[in-house]
Amino acid sequence: MLVAMRELIKNGLLRNLYNHWCDCRSSHVVPFRSSIDLTRIPDVFSHLAIFEFIPQEETYVCRLAGDIVQKTYKKSLAGKNIDEIFSNEISALLSSYFDTVRNHTSVASGKAVSLDEKRVELILLPLANVEGEIVQILSAQVCDYDIEQTAFDFAADDFIFRSFECRNIED
C-alpha cells in the first residue's frame, strides 16, 4: 500500500515528506510524533501543519503551522480549532478526512481545485503518541497560485476535491 500511495503523490515536496514519514515508522504502523525530524526535511517545513484531536471537544486543534500555511489562510493558526480556521463546510469536510486518517489508520493524499482553477495538492499523515494512539494529523499542502494575492476563504461548494485517496496503511 505504501508504495502505491507514493506513486499517487505527484509533488516532490509532499513526496519527500511522505518518504520521511515512512522512514520514521520503523517497526510501527504509524510513526511517533517525536520521530519526525523536521531538520531532515527543511524545504517542507513551511508547508506543514499538525492538528491534534481533542476527544473532550470532538475537534482538532492546530498545534503547528508553517509560514506558507499561515500565509495561505491569512492568520496565525496555532492553538485554534478547525472551526475557528475554516468555514463550517470546510471544517466538516476536513474533520471527516482527519477522522478517516485517525480512525482507520490511513494516509490521504489528493488535489483540490477551485471553480476558478486554483489548485492545492495535500497530504494527511497520522502520528501516534507514546502509547501508540493516533492523536495527531500531519498535513502539508502545496498551492499552484500566489498565496500573497489570494485569500483561502472559499466555500466548500466552490472547491472540489479531485482524486483524493484515503488508503488504509495495513492493507
Enumerate the β-bridge partners of residue 53. Answer: 60
Q: Report the candidate in 20, 29, 48 with the shortest Cα–Cα distance to residue 128.
A: 29
pLDDT in tens, 66-84: 998 888 777 889 999 999 9
What integer is the mean pLDDT of 13-30? 92
Residues 122 and 25: beta-carbon distance below 8 Å: no
pLDDT in tens, 116-161: 777 778 899 999 999 999 999 999 988 876 655 555 444 444 555 5
pLDDT in tens, 33-47: 999 998 999 999 999
Alpha carbons 65 and 49: distance in angstroms, whole number: 4
Q: Are strands 134-143 and 119-128 parallel, antiparallel or unpaired?
A: antiparallel
For the structural domain made of 2-168, what CATH number should be given?
A: 3.30.450.20
pLDDT of residue 167: 65
pLDDT of residue 156: 42
Percent of the chain with pLDDT over 70: 81
pLDDT of residue 34: 93
